[in-house]
Amino acid sequence: MCGIVGIIGSTSVQSSIIEALEKLEYRGYDSAGIATISENEILCRRSVGKLSCLKNELSNAPVLGKIGIGHTRWATHGAPSIDNAHPHQVGKVALVHNGIIENYNELKAQIISEGGIMVSETDTEVVAAFCNMFLESGMSPEEAVSSTLGQLKGAYALCFIFEGNEDLIIAARKGSPLVVGWGVEEMFVGSDAIALAHLTNQLTYVEEENYVVISRKEAKFFNFEGKEQPSKKVFVNSESVLVTKSGYRHFMHKEINEQASVISYALGSYTSFDRKRILLPNQIPSFAKMDRLIISACGTAFLAGHVAKYWFEKISGLPSDIDIASEFRYREPIISKKTGAIFVSQSGETADTLAALRMAKSNSIETIVVVNSENSTMARESDIIMPIKAGVEVGVASTKAFTSQLLVLAALVIEAARQRKKISPKQEEEFINQLFAIPRLINEVLSRENEIINICSELANAQDILFIARGPLYPLALEGALKLKEISYIHAEGYAAGELKHGPIALVDSSVPIICFAPSNILYDKTTSNIHEVIARGGKVILVSDKGGLSDFKGDVWKSFEMPFSEPFILPILYALPAQLLAYYSAIEKGTDVDQPRNLAKSVTVE
């Protein structure tokens, strides 16, 4: 989970590499480095901390050269330190790596037994050491890389440069994404299109288990057996990947505020012109033939899938399981021919979700991916793609991708219900009308942001916070807790409201705020009973409900937040807003780094 970039330019590449790394910082930001070749010599600078630290270092000691590689790191093996930062240079080769070399211990032992010295604690340095060893044995750079790849187990995107050769980058991919960008007398390679958006709009996605030999004039693609492969150029709209904060203090805040328009846009893509039918943009899943649905994802995407489980079972009558992707893969699930599988991912590159998708595919069942990045590995490997059309999401805390995932999952649920004859055309139209109310209701919630700021001025002092809710809002309690932990570092847990009395209520005292999502619907009475149990034990309740729910509540709440009234179907999408805003403004109170919280990365491409 690091960002890598390589450039063969027509002028000095330092500033273009740094700009690319700025775009890739969402993939990791605990250390960074750059290596160029000037006058046949490899020049390397590395620093601990965010990219700004590397920039400071470069302002004192710039690197010259028209060829170079860069890296922004999310540590897997070895703490953030200069020695562990990339690029790693051994002899005549320097490289950057995203992924994990699983057999590095074995390889390291071999290098040490042959008299080699390893200076870092990383899994990456062995790759440079092996490549250099092969170069020293007389192999060409391409032969040396190819032989090195033959030694490696695990996942990687790698980018190599070679001392004495200012017109050659070799990059390889297995399990981690890699894209080549085409310029005029310039070539680029990086972890994703965003990294290269300021340089070119002509891209070729490197296929799995392929490597690419890049010179200033061209790129040639090969499979790991060394056979040249055809390549396809795609043209991307640079505007769609160039992102700015547009005046907002943080990307997260901007992305929260984009949700009404993003959902309107997705709705246009998933419904008929007369708003009477769901119209899926690509292939249609065969829900009518399924007797069971598996939904799998990680983190916030998993929680979107968790809501969808409630919807699929209630509205379309399709038995559904929800699984954390890293568990699904190893628990040997029973998969029959009539099982369908949905994978949800913003990035489309999350290693655990990708592995789960591949596992489902190996069982020959229909796979559907609900994804933001339409050129991602998951989008390319699944049978059916359902794009969420949320635009680039930069904030590490997922916000607009979550609500857009829910919107697309809701469309799939309605499609499934129609196919399975569980709803009439009139009911389908009613559901669609409810979806069309979402943008207006989101804006209503956002117009009350100041009230959330007031709540957070006190909430942020808490050491522990609980979230509770019932039914399809239970995953929102989990999401509220996840978001809060992630960016404010306050310990928070989400519980099904009815579960509190089975243990967690022991935590309740006057120092623990309990945020309760309790709209006035069929579950209101049961949820408020649980709230009374909390109040009776001195708990400080923040009640989030609609006007009716707040006025019907007979008890002392610490604070409350009024939500607009809405139909039960769309509640999970609307209640995402207070969950996100409570986390955002608590983080602001605490002064944490909202867009780049500690220890995290946006795209988790290691298992």
Residue ranges that bind ligand M6R, judged by CB under 6 A: 298-301, 345-347, 350, 353, 396-398, 486, 603-604
Nearer Cβ to ligand M6R (293/396): 396
Min. distance of Cβ 484 from ligand M6R in angstroms?
11
Q: Spot the catalytic one: 66, 309, 389, 602.
A: 602
From 510, 509, 546, 512, select the one nearest 527 (Cα to Cα): 546
Q: In what order do the strands lie in the sheet with 67-73?
A: 41-48, 31-38, 67-73, 3-8, 187-190, 179-182, 202-205, 234-235
Rg (the chain; Cα; Å):
25
CA nearest neighbour of 584 among 487, 469, 506? 487
Q: Which residue has the tokens 């061209």?
A: 218
| DSSP character at residue 313 | I
602 among known catalytic residues: yes
Report the distance separating Cα 268 and Cα 25, nearest Å. 32
Residue 340 · residue 357 · CB < 8 Å? no
Is 2 catalytic? The answer is yes
Q: What is the DSSP string of 447-501?
A: TTHHHHHHHHHHHTT-SEEEEEE-GGGHHHHHHHHHHHHHHH--EEEEEEGGGGG
Q: Which of 2, 159, 298, 456 is catalytic?
A: 2
Taking the least distance from each CB to ligand M6R, the nearer of 469 and 523 is: 469
Output the six-digit token pair for 61.
């000691």
DSSP 88: E
Q: For ligand M6R, which residue has the nearest CB?
A: 299
Minimal distance, residue 377 CB to ligand M6R, in Å: 11
Q: Closer to ligand M6R by CB, 41 or 374: give it.
A: 374
Nearest distance, CB of residue 592 and ligand M6R, angstroms? 14
Residues 6+ positions from 69 with CB-CB distance below 8 Å? 4, 5, 6, 7, 17, 34, 35, 87, 94, 95, 96, 159, 160, 161, 169
Judged by beta carbon, residue 210 or residue 345, the one nearer ligand M6R is: 345
Residue whose CB is less far from ligand M6R, 118 or 583: 583
Closer to ligand M6R by Cβ: residue 298 or 496: 298
Residue 346 Cβ, how far from ligand M6R at the closest point, in Å? 3
Q: Smallest distance from the beta carbon of 349 to ligand M6R, in angstroms? A: 7
Packing angle, helices 259-270 and 438-446, rounded to 10: 180
Least Å from the CB of residue 344 to ligand M6R = 7
> Comparing C-alpha atoms, which of 136, 113, 111, 146 is closest to residue 126?
111
* Cβ 483 to ligand M6R shortest distance, Å: 6
Measured CA to CA, the distance from residue 400 to residue 500 in angstroms comes to 29
Question: Smallest gap, in angstroms, from Cβ of residue 604 to ligand M6R?
Answer: 5
| Closer by beta carbon to ligand M6R, 142 or else 381 | 381
Nearer to ligand M6R, 204 or 603 (CB): 603
Cβ at position 477, least distance to ligand M6R in Å: 15
Instruction: Tell me how far apart the alpha carbons of residues 64 and 297 are, in angstroms, rounded to a whole number.
Output: 44
For the record, the structure tokens of 429 come out as 């139209």
Q: Which is nearer to ligand M6R, 205 or 222 (CB)?
A: 205
∠290-434-285 over CA atoms, to 5°? 20
Phi, psi of 368 (to 5 degrees): -125, 135
User: Is the separation of the CB atoms in 202 and 235 below 8 Å?
Assistant: yes
DSSP label of 271: B
What are residue 25's phi and psi, to 5 degrees? -60, -20
As annotated, the active-site residues are 2, 602
